[in-house]
Amino acid sequence: MSLLITLGLGSAGVAPPTPPAGDTPWMHMVLPIVTVTIGPDYATDINAALGQTVDAHDHSPTKGKPVPVAGLDINADLPFAGHSALNLDSTQYNIRNATVTDSIGYLYFDGVDLYVIDGNGVTIQMTSGGSVNVTGTGGWTGDYGTGNSTANYIAASKTFHLYNDSGANKVGFLSVGDIYLRQGNSSAATAEVVLKSPLSGATGGYTLQFPISPTSAGFGGTENRLLLVDHTGAMVYGPAAPGATTKGLRAAATSGTVSADVDGDGVTINTLNTSTSLGVIAGSIGTTQLTDGGVTAAKLHSAATGISSSSSAYTNATGSYTDVFIIDCAIVATGLRPVCISLQAQGSGFVSYIGASGGDCKFQLLIDGTSQGEMEVSDGTVIPPGAISLFLSAGLSAGTHHIQLQGKHISAGTAEVNYCKLVAYEI
């Protein structure tokens, strides 16, 4: 290794120190004066100059003229005997193009890069291709430091930025495991949200893309909306909720609806209350959405029923309708199903029938005071209770309804209802 060092050595232009009178300027030697100094004095002066001053000179002050750079011929390693080289302006190195392997404490260039050999004899590359080499730090590795690829921190906003080498300020991509999110400037690990991939091993991944800004024109208004994911993994905003402010799948109002076409069939979701419960609006699901046999009896709405007390031995021998004894039947209808009304036998131990004696008779059913039609029974005829019945395919409106059976004779005789009950029920 060659080392060019600029030292503070003397030169021919440096003035010598002022010697005593009669001495030489640099080593202060007393020389004999030609033709003046005689005999032993002449020899004494020569011996002193050669034997004491010249022989012992080392070019330190008063011991010789300082040696200029031009007078140095360093043709081997120059040891400093453990001392420092002080007041250096700069150092210049030769390019070795070879790795040093047998030295400690070396600093050298190999190719275009700077290397140092530490106290353990380990060679450390300090630069790489014109940049500081950071691959040995155990942090940023790979192609980091090439082009514009940098990690940047801005203290004012307390923000880290990662840039790639595509150009100035081109943000890079990040490949990491789980991401732990905390509130800005927070140190509480208990308040973190973890973003986690559901995949493991060699399972194929997918892309989940966030939606546009809810303040942009593409959001379409000020209503709150459901957030949906399409088949490509892109998050999109669903339709606005009519008449309600929704919060995800919750409603701020006590009820409301949001439209969500879950599988292309236009099913409408109904928010039932302020909890997370959801229901389907009546009529929005037809038979095409139901599996055959998929609705069990336990899942059907409970049917409304009503049954009267016994008629006992009812008779009416007048020409005006009267209510059959205690056969006023009330039904709380749901308004969703057909209704069947029928007279039935009271049960075991009783003889139940409808009849007319001494003349022809009539019977009628009334719903909330309105006759639903009359049935005539001839004199001397006895018919079973089920002969009087009524089927309402449209059902009854939701609410309480009173159903009555009345009887009378036409011109003479007695109308009879013997131990029967009136039953009304939704099918």
Show the domains of the chain with their CATH numbers.
1-93 (no CATH), 95-133 (no CATH), 217-289 (no CATH), 305-426 (2.60.120.760)
pLDDT at 350: 93
pLDDT at 168: 84
Does residue 56 contact residue 63 with C-beta atoms inside 8 Å? yes
Q: Which of 30-44, 341-355, 360-374 has the lowest mean pLDDT?
A: 30-44
pLDDT at 287: 75
pLDDT over 80 (residue 8) = no
The b/e string for 396-426 (b: 16+ C-beta within 10 A; e otherwise) is beeeebebbbbbbbbeebbbbbbbbbbbbbb
Q: Which residues contact 114 (CB under 8 A, 6 or more apart)?
A: 107, 108, 125, 126, 127
pLDDT over 70 (residue 253) = no
- What's the whole-number average pLDDT of the chain? 79
Q: Report residue 146 CA to chain centroid gap.
A: 32
Does residue 244 contact residue 251 with C-beta atoms inside 8 Å? yes
pLDDT over 50 (residue 249) = no
pLDDT over 60 (residue 420) = yes
3-class secondary structure, 42: helix
Give mean pLDDT, residues 269-281. Answer: 50
In whole angstroms, what is the distance from residue 211 CA to residue 231 CA?
14
In whole angstroms, what is the distance from residue 280 CA to residue 272 CA?
9
- What's the token pair of residue 30? 């007393």
pLDDT at 181: 87
Give mean pLDDT, residues 404-424. Answer: 94
Higher pLDDT, 375 or 220: 375
In whole angstroms, what is the distance from residue 253 CA to residue 272 CA?
10
What is the model's pTM? 0.37
Tokens 């232009």 correspond to what residue? 13
Higher pLDDT, 245 or 295: 295
Q: Which of 22-26, 117-121, 173-177, 238-242 has the lowest mean pLDDT?
A: 238-242
Instruction: Return the top range by mean pLDDT from 40-44, 180-184, 408-412.
Output: 408-412
Q: How many residues does the chain have?
A: 427
